[in-house]
Chain A
Amino acid sequence: MVHTGRYGIHDGQKCANCLVCKMADRPVPMAEKRLMDVKLGELMTWASTKDFSPNGIIAAVRRGHDRYYNKYINVKKGGIGGVAMLLTGYVVLSYLWEYDHIKHDRWRKYH
């Protein structure tokens, strides 16, 4: 990653003096890793470090909501897409919820 430090603009880990170079390959503790950086084998360990208490779940929902809201709705010229995606997700979720009940309708002769 090109960055600027005490010794000017440089790439990668050329010096040992600017903050980026010093932090470059310090091992990240498992709890702070992002999902995309977790290796498949470490998935269970990573999941066990997450907070599943009610407060933790509420905090996660709030974070997710804030991310979605600030990306799609709280923008200068938001269109119908922000709400439409949410509603489509709701329809899909409802379908999944009801699937066990609806699957009997497929081959039913009389409704």
Chain B
Amino acid sequence: MALNFFDQFMSPTYMGIPLMALALTLPWLLYPTPTTRWLNNRLLTLQSWFINRFTQQLLMPLNVGGHKWALMLTSLMMFLFTINLLGLLPYTFTPTTQLSLNMGLAVPLWLATVIIGMRNQPTAALGHLLPEGTPALLIPVLIIIETISLFIRPLALGVRLTANLTAGHLLIQLIATAVYVLLPMMTTVALLTATVLFLLTLLEVAVAMIQAYVFVLLLSLYLQENV
């Protein structure tokens, strides 16, 4: 019966289609395409403003070579942002709680930054493995450590996103169960727990947005090093 708390991370199939498919296609439906009109509807205006500000902010530290990644990074951000926020609605499924999806996003993108770095500027890319000013004795150790840290990056990107979202969802479910069970027995305690639940939900909304941002930000940093 303890399995039940983890059931929210399952994607049940209905008529052969898993719920994950619905959850993955919904973000596409929520963002209309910009038109060539001078004045668009409110949703489009809001969306365009947000996307422009975000792209400007993200691309500030990158040089011109990195600007080729603008579309990729911004669309990734919008995708993760929407998926995370939609997952907070009742009964919905959050695809980013699945490690497979996050690794599927993290590994190819990270690998792309590494390969771009190795192809275009191999000396500089390899040079990142040794920070400036290290004492001569430490050089071998540091190279090994930096290589390990390089290869851990995609794992960290994927697992960070998965763990944050999974933990948040689990906490919400646990505390909500506690409130529900306590309500007939100890109403005051239940009310206090309900306050905790409310605050937790606000935190989860913030986490949803922040995690998406962090994912994309780190990717842009890796890109910055390599481009």
Contact = CB atoms under 8 A, between A and B. Distances in A.
Interface of A: 65, 69, 73-78, 82-83, 86-87, 90-91, 93-98, 100-102, 105, 108-111
A102 B42 CA distance: 38
B4 A98 contact: no
Nearest to B40: A74
B22 A97 contact: yes
B12 A98 contact: yes
A82 B22 contact: no
Interface string B2-17: 1011010010101000
Interface stretch (B24-32, B54-62, B112-120, B144-152): B24-32
Contact of A97 (B4, B7, B12, B32): B12
Given A78-B41, A78-B42, A78-B43, A97 B14 contact: yes
Contacts of A77: 42
Given A73-B43, A74-B32, A94 B177 contact: no
Contacts of B32: 69, 73-74
A75 B43 CA distance: 10
Give me the 10 closest cross-chain CB pairs, A-B, nearest first: A110-B1, A94-B91, A95-B91, A97-B14, A74-B41, A94-B92, A101-B12, A97-B19, A111-B4, A78-B42
B90 interface: yes
26 contacts: A65-B29, A69-B32, A73-B43, A76-B41, A82-B43, A83-B43, A86-B30, A87-B86, A90-B22, A90-B86, A91-B89, A91-B90, A93-B22, A94-B19, A94-B91, A95-B90, A95-B91, A97-B12, A98-B19, A101-B10, A101-B12, A108-B1, A109-B1, A110-B2, A111-B1, A111-B5
B35 to A, nearest CB: 9
Interface in B63-93: 86, 89-93
Nearest to A87: B89
Contacts of A91: 89-92
Given A91-B91, A94-B23, 7 more contacts: A73-B41, A78-B41, A78-B42, A87-B86, A94-B92, A98-B12, A108-B1
